[in-house]
Amino acid sequence: MNSKYNPLFQPFTFASGVKVDNRLVMAPMTTNSSFENGMVTTEEKEYYKRRVAGLGAVVTSCAQVMENGRFAGSLSAASDNRIDSLSKLAKTIQNEGPKAILQIFHVGRLGSKRTLRGEQPVSASAVPLDVEGAEVPRELSNKEVHELIDAFGQATRRAIQAGFDGIELHGANNYMIQQFFSPHSNRREDQWGGSLEKRMNFPLAVVQAAKEAIQTYADKPFIFGYRISPEEIKEPGITIEDTLQLIAKLKEQGLDYIHVSTNEWTQASVRDPKATKPVVQRIQESVGADFPIIGVGSIITPDDAVAAMELGLPLVAIGRELVIEPDWVQKVKLGNETAIRKKIKPEYREDLTLPDAMWEYIESRPGWFPIV
């Protein structure tokens, strides 16, 4: 292996005490391939088995905490009868070496009556996503907000009982936790909305519920992460200043890491065209070197990964590139990084072990993946 890639393969220990073999994390990628009831399919297990060996940790595709928080093909952590299924996924990952982290979420206003079996989507407020044809969600009552917070705690318990090494709260990509934090989707005037401080109440309450579940049920160190989208380009929308204040609060809660969701790891502010500093670097500098930030977004080559770490990030996540090149880690270790695939060709499909539903999803979004 080229010595310049040594930083990628140094061990790392989280604040919780969990140690990972290296700094490489598989980013959560939607497979759309679970059974309709949210149970893990053989295709999904094969998808993970094919590409996780050699990584430090794997964050799974998202699992709903309530059944009205699902999308087509999403995993379920919404009931105890899903624990055995989740356990099979955890073991599939762990048997290849990495730590297994279950990402948990609620789809919120990104849901649809079609995927929710005729039920209206719910959100912080009755404000639809600003895209053509978006369904208007129903605003959650105060009682329902408390039930949802508890559901995140119960899903955390199930992840522990299923044998996962950690959980990641999905507070990014316009899903429910972000919907409560965003002034676009949250127009409430109660304890859950209005000022920035009140818009932080829901994510912080979810963190507390998950934290209590970990303290109650985990009998060994357990990774606790949070994924965040740093900004929204829409108006009104989340600003980087809002995010820095939330992250400062999250740091106080004893999280192991913040996973910053961006399309490009070099991405500067999407709201300020004059900004040049990568937003992940700005966040890492704001919270300090003692609190890990995971950078993600178009990390394609090992040189990209090393350059991201040189921004001060202790961990880097690889998403789409691990879909394209399941042998990424092995090729880097063998000094064969020039052979890393950067595009998908039809003849690669069988080797990539992509579930049919995932392949269909990729093909339906031109430009998301480089397909030849």
Which helix (H) or strand (E) segment holds residue 9: the answer is none
List the Cα angle 290/173/46 in 5-degree steps.
90
Burial 143-158 (b: 16+ CB within 10 A, else e): eebeebbbbbbbbbbb
Tokens of 357: 């539903």
Residue whose token pair is 């999905």: 170
Rounded to an integer, what distance in angstroms lies between the CA atom of residue 239 and that of residue 219? Answer: 38
Dihedral (C-alpha) 63, 69, 71, 75: value to the nearest 10 degrees? 20
175 catalytically annotated: yes
Contact 111, 69 (CB under 8 A): yes
Q: How far is CA 34 from CA 37, 97, 237, 351, 363, in A?
A: 8, 23, 32, 20, 18
Annotated catalytic residue, options 175, 226, 257, 361: 175
Active site residues: 175
